[in-house]
Each structure stands twice: as structure tokens, then as C-alpha cells.
A = this chain, B = another copy of it.
Amino acid sequence: MMKLYSSTTSPFVRKVLVVAHEAGCLDAIEPLAGKASPIQADMAIVATNPLGQVPTAIVDDGQALFDSRVICEYLDAQQGTGLFPAGAGRWPALTLQSLADGILDAALLARYEQVTRPETLRWEPWLEGQMGKISRALAQLELQVPAFAVQLHIGTISLACALGYLDFRFSEFAWREGHPRLADWYQTFSARPSMAQTVPQG
């Protein structure tokens, strides 16, 4: 069993759950409710992970594992499912994960700026800087889709979770506009049971 500090809205938790689903070990995960916040740390989580972030995992021997990249790779290695490819295919898959995680980091910072920070202390250039990263990433991904379209690995899983988060929290951003190939790819990918059963709630 793996205990997993989780929230139903975290896109990084979703990555772990999608990997667990695809690797056939979802039943071996026991979720623990966690409340990650950049302002108010969750004291239960920080006892294990001083960063206070979800997802944080605790495996059978009591060892803590984080962040999402580490937990995902651990589950994949335990199950031998090859979602973290070996050989030459590893580097584009890991770089795609990094790009998707970068979209999510930017989106979370944008959300903290727009929602968490008091209105009088918001700084437009910061928000624009974060949203600019997302826009440029989408533009590059639109060109890359043919290269990864039919692949299932940690890169495509991360990308799908990132796009799902844009739908969940930034629907007015309308990411599909101008990115028809990416939208098509996501429509197919998000129909996978692992994605359909982990749609964010909140």
C-alpha cells in the first residue's frame, strides 16, 4: 500500500492517479486528505514533506516520496509498465513532462496572483509573465502533436493533466482556440478511463 496526501483539485495529484490507473495499481493507493496552500501549511503533510505539497507519498517502509515526478516514476518502476521509457525515447518524454509541469507551475502562480493575493497587491506584469509561458508552450505543442500523438507515457499523461487543469481553472482562457491539433489530441486522450475517472472536482 502507498499512502498519498491528495486533493481532488491538484493537477499534480491527478498525474499520480492517472499513472496508477494506467499501471494497474490504483487499488494499492490509500488517499489522505491534504490541504496544500502557499500561505498556510498543512501540518500533517509537513511532518512528512517540509514543502507541504500534494502529492506526497508514504510507502510501506515509511519512506516519503515526492514530488509528482518521483512518485509517478516509482509506481511505473514497481509495475514495470514503461511509462517512463528507457533508451532514446526517455528524453523527449521527460522533456514533455517538464514542459507540461511548467504550464502547471505557471497556471498555479497565475491563480495565486488572481485569487489568493489581495486585490490591491496584484501585479499585472507577473500575471502576464506566467500566462505568456502558457501561451508559448501551447503554440509549440500545437506543432509537436504529430510527434507524440499516439504515445502513452509520462509526457503525454502530464500534458493531458495540464490541459485538463486549464479547462478546470482557466476556462475563459479558451486554450483550444488556435490549437486545433492539440484540441483533437486531447479529446482522444481524455476519453481514456484513467483521465475520465480523475476529472478535477471542487
What residues make up the interface of A, taking CB atoms closer than 8 Å to B? 37-41, 46, 49-53, 59, 63-67, 69-70, 73-74, 77, 90-92, 94-95, 98-99, 102, 106, 112, 117-118, 121-123, 125-126, 128-130, 132-133, 136-137, 139-140
Contact = CB atoms under 8 A, between A and B. Distances in A.
A126 B41 CA distance: 12
A92 B117 contact: no
Contact of A66 (B37, B77, B95, B133): B95
A50 B133 contact: yes
A139 B50 contact: yes
A4 to B, nearest CB: 14
A133 to B, nearest CB: 5
A120 to B, nearest CB: 8
